[in-house]
Amino acid sequence: MPTVIISHRSSLVGCLVAAALRLYFQARNLKIIVVESLDTSFTSQPFCGISTISNQRLAYNAFLQRAFFQGLLAPSLTFLESIQIHNSPSSRPEFPNSQHKVLASLGSPAQFLALVYHPQVLLNSLRQSLSADPSITFLSVSDRGAIAQLQGDCYINFSPGEYNNKTENLDLAAHSCLFPMELRQQSVSSSSQQAPPMLWLPSFKASTQMFEAIFTSTASSTRASLNIEVHSVNLNIHENSFASRYDLNHGIKACDYVLQLMESLATRLGLVPSRL
């Protein structure tokens, strides 16, 4: 049984990748160790919203839809069938200067084009599900150099991102860009409810000039193991840290990339797809 070790500074991305591998490959053929860093940011996070339209271009979109959005993650997600952002006088005293408001119609796991979620709630639910799986182990380390001491057949390590002079505090900026949101039931046009303020990530990333990550990787091997270093091109270290903790789409794209890598190595590692 091969052992795959996943290392990412964001527990959310690490858990998503572990879940994708666990659901895609047969459990009896795979053991997974998720290495969690002790330097993970504990900054308070708001509810976040993402568009899922671009996910249709992912190589494993059909699998990720079934495994995550219609399966493992569904209880922690609010599905939106439509969403509009327009200018409106603020009705919330905590956002006196806000001129943007989100109007959204609720969808379902079978029909949606956007999602709302709380990153920490999503992570807690995901981690609880994975902890119940005997083929998955969690390990926290303070020194990432200790990862090399773990016994594994394949090491998947995500690099922290590129370094440059752009050092904007994205966590602080995010909390100044929250939109009030109103949810409507499609079947009852007059029925609506106020939802918690939301960070609409497509608008936020556009305003901060944050690009989407393009994943690349380098691989090296020894007689005993394979080492894969995954790089997030287009994102500096601060943007990569933010996207990894807030943006579910970033994690989904990381899963898609790792699945492509691992399927190309399936024969070498003795992995058998479960074809969920």
Mean pLDDT of 49-69: 94
Mean of the pLDDT values across residues 46-69? 94
Q: Is the pLDDT of residue 168 over 90?
A: no
Q: With b meaning 16 or more CB within 10 Å and e meaning fewer, what string describes 23-54?
A: bbbeeebbbbbbbbbeebeeeebbbbbbebee
CA atoms within 13 A on the CB side of 105: 12
pLDDT-derived band at 163 (thresholds 50, 70, 90) equals: confident
Q: What pLDDT sits at residue 144?
A: 73
Average pLDDT over residues 24-29: 82
Average pLDDT for residues 56-62, to the nearest whole number? 94
pLDDT at 42 over 90: no
pLDDT at position 223: 80
pLDDT of 95 reads: 56
pLDDT category at 43 given cuts 50, 70, 90 is low
Can you tell me the distance from the alpha carbon of 246 to that of 12, in angstroms, rounded to the nearest whole number? 9
Q: What is the mean pLDDT of residues 64-69?
A: 96
pLDDT in tens, 182-198: 888 765 555 667 778 89
Closest Cα to residue 236, out of 203, 218, 211, 199? 211
Task: Please name the residues in contact with 42: beta carbons below 8 A apart, sequence gap of 6 or more.
Answer: none
Residue with tokens 């505090």: 169
129/47 Cα distance (integer angstroms): 21
Tell me the residue type at 65: Q
The whole-number pLDDT of residue 186 equals: 63
Q: What is d(CA 214, CA 238) in angstroms, rounded to the nearest whole number?
A: 16
Residue type, 271: L
Per-residue pLDDT band at 148 (split at 50, 70, 90): confident
Separation CA 23–CA 67 (nearest Å): 7
CA angle, 205 then 210 then 215, to 5°: 120
**Lowest mean pLDDT segment, chosen from 114-123, 124-133, 161-170, 261-270:** 161-170
Average pLDDT over residues 216-224: 89
What's residue 112's pLDDT?
A: 95
Q: What are phi and psi of 258, to 5 degrees?
A: -65, -40
pLDDT score at 66: 95
Evaluate if residue 41 carries a pLDDT over 80: no
pLDDT (0 to 100) of residue 161: 78
Matching residue, tokens 């190309």: 264
